[in-house]
Amino acid sequence: MKLEIDPHGREPSYLQLAALLRAAIQAGEIAPRDPVPSITYLVGETGLAIGTVRKAIGVLVDEGLVYTVPGRGTFVAGTRPD
């Protein structure tokens, strides 16, 4: 997964990252119930601060596209609730 963020882009970094992850999920690159890259991993890949990555994940959680399980990770939501 390519994760290129332009810190000087028109869109805020956290929205750019959210969009990239959203696109990957909707393209089927991550299957339902499969884990999204961890926050720590995303920090390393993107060069963003941990708070910024958290905010991006939060956007997708709010959209219902992913869900998080403390201590385990963040996962792609299924089409129907579990």
Partner DNA sequence: CTGTATTTGTTCGTATGTATT
Partner DNA sequence: AAATACATACGAACAAATACA
* CA dist., res. 4 & res. 34, Å (int): 22
Residue placing its CB nearer to DNA in the complex, 23 or 50: 50
The least CB distance from residue 74 to DNA, in Å, is 4
Is 15 exposed, middle or buried (CB count within 10 Å of its CB: 0-12, 13-18, 19+)?
middle
Q: At what angle do helices 50-63 and 13-26 cross, to 10 degrees?
A: 50
Binding site for DNA (CB under 7 A): 7, 12-15, 36, 38-41, 47-52, 54-55, 57, 68-74
Residue placing its CB nearer to DNA in the complex, 72 or 78: 72
The least CB distance from residue 76 to DNA, in Å, is 12
The least CB distance from residue 42 to DNA, in Å, is 8
* CA dist., res. 79 & res. 6, Å (int): 31
